[in-house]
Amino acid sequence: MRKPSDLKASLDAMPQAPLDALIAFADTVTVEARHAIVAFAATRRLPAIYEASEWVAAGGLMAHGVRHVDQFRQSAPCVDRILKGARPADLPASPPTIVRLTIDSTVACAPGNAIPASLLLRADELVR
């Protein structure tokens, strides 16, 4: 997909045969279309994992990734150094330090969903 209007054609192009799961990564197009993607996964009864907890807030099953607010906080010292005259190219790149598993317990415990209790126990956050 290159633009949100490509979503319907992209989803329609998926095989009608049973799919095993859905993994959706966040970018400017998919984030804007996240409600439709989550609805597609629910309609097809696909176990789905997403990149950010915003997808779980939209009704998705689970997300495993960084929290954007943590990333913003982690970038603050770099911004401070740049404002004090450091060259951005001289600053070290730092990977995310906090990765979280968020699960929508309502979706996970719905009839027909077989989410292991051990996974629910490992979640950093259960919503709903």
pLDDT per position as a tens digit, 17-38:
678 889 998 888 888 889 999 9
- Assigned token pair, 81: 């150094």
Residue 89 identity: A
Residue ranges of domains in the chain, CATH in brackets: 20-67+98-127 (3.40.50.2300)
User: Could you write out the DSSP letters of every residue in 58-110?
Assistant: TT-SEEEE--HHHHHHHHHHHHHHHHTT--GGGSPP---S--EEEEEHHHHTS
- Put simply, whether the predicted model's pTM sits higher than 0.85 gets the answer no
Task: Give pLDDT tens digits for 63-113.
Answer: 999 887 888 888 889 999 999 999 999 998 878 888 999 999 988 888 878
pLDDT at 5 (0 to 100): 84
Q: Bridge-partner residues for 103, per DSSP?
A: 62, 126
d(CA 77, CA 107): 38
